[in-house]
């Protein structure tokens, strides 16, 4: 598969493998974050592991941000624990917001606790993103993973937040 990449002056066609090479080896942060963005849009699950590696190890926040976004778009649950790590530990607030959004897209019971924890984050944008995702997960739980019974999710959120949200 080849995808067209628009730059200011020309359109370049890059294959999946070329984009992976750009992601892993380019010295340019712009080339790396564009590669991450496009790999997410391509939807090929073979990009998941390289994107996880970038999320965990790239020194540039913009590149990690686009890696988190791409992982959310790819929807592979293999990324969940790595996104949770980024949500909890990344020093860049924008990466943490993107990780929260990606976790919201991935959903599942495993993401509830880290999102609830982030309701008390020092950065309002992280809190708002966590809130939005918990609302979406709650709505989704009405019909699916929690067996059509949102009471399980409600109980989980209540137990995790009991007595801890008075300052929020």
Angle at 99 between CA 48 and CA 35, to 5 degrees: 45
The distance between the two most distant Cα atoms of the chain, rounded to a whole number of Å, is: 57
Query: Looking at 24-33, 68-77, 142-151, which range is the least confident one?
Result: 142-151
Least confident range of 63-72, 77-86, 123-132: 123-132
Average pLDDT, the chain: 85
pLDDT in tens, 135-149: 888 777 666 655 555
Q: What is the pLDDT of residue 38?
A: 96
Q: What is the pLDDT of residue 168?
A: 46
The pair of structure tokens assigned to 117 is: 């924890």
Question: Per-residue pLDDT averaged across 80-107, rounded?
Answer: 96
pLDDT at 40 over 60: yes
Region 100-128: mean pLDDT is 92
Cα 98 from chain centroid (whole Å): 5
């Amino acid at each position: 598969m080849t995808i067209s990449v628009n730059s200011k002056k020309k359109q370049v066609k890059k294959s999946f493998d070329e984009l992976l090479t750009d992601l892993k080896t380019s010295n340019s942060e712009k080339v790396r974050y564009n590669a991450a963005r496009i790999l997410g849009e391509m939807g090929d699950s073979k990009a998941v592991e390289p994107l996880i590696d970038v999320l965990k190890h790239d020194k540039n926040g913009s590149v990690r941000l686009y890696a988190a976004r791409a992982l959310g778009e790819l929807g592979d649950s293999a990324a969940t624990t790595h996104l949770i790590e980024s949500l909890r530990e990344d020093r860049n607030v924008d990466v943490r917001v993107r990780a929260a959004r990606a976790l919201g897209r991935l959903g599942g019971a495993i993401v509830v606790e880290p999102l609830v924890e982030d309701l008390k984050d020092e950065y309002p944008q992280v809190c708002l993103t966590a809130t939005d995702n918990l609302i979406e997960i709650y709505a989704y739980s009405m019909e699916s993973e929690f067996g059509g019974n949102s009471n399980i999710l409600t109980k989980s959120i209540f137990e995790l937040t009991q007595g801890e949200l008075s300052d929020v």
